[in-house]
Amino acid sequence: MPSKETLFAISLFPYLGFLWFITRSGKAPRLALIGFYVLLIFVAVTIPAGIYAKIHYGKDLANVDWLHGSAEFFLTLSNILVVLGFREGILAKQKGG
């Protein structure tokens, strides 16, 4: 069975495909699209934070609160932007239609 790190790395490819298609479609609300891209920042921050936690504290990232919370901020920001973006899109659609 593949390791969780391998599965994590492999899962990036379908997500990049999703981003490519949703960006090309031009139909996603801009703010939601930004939120989907911010998720990549979360991934980019989480990987080095996990390595740092393991090297300097000898623990998993989830067990080093200040690092884990800092990385999770980007996930929270991503979720907020996606929700606000789709809310904006729904309101615009209701106003126009």
The pLDDT tens digits for 31-82 are: 999 999 999 999 999 989 999 999 999 999 999 999 999 999 999 999 999 9
Tell me the C-alpha distance between 70 and 73, whole Å.
5
Least confident range from 3-7, 9-13, 31-35, 81-85: namely 3-7
9 has a pLDDT exceeding 90: no
97 has a pLDDT exceeding 70: no
CA angle 37, 19, 16 (to 5 degrees): 95
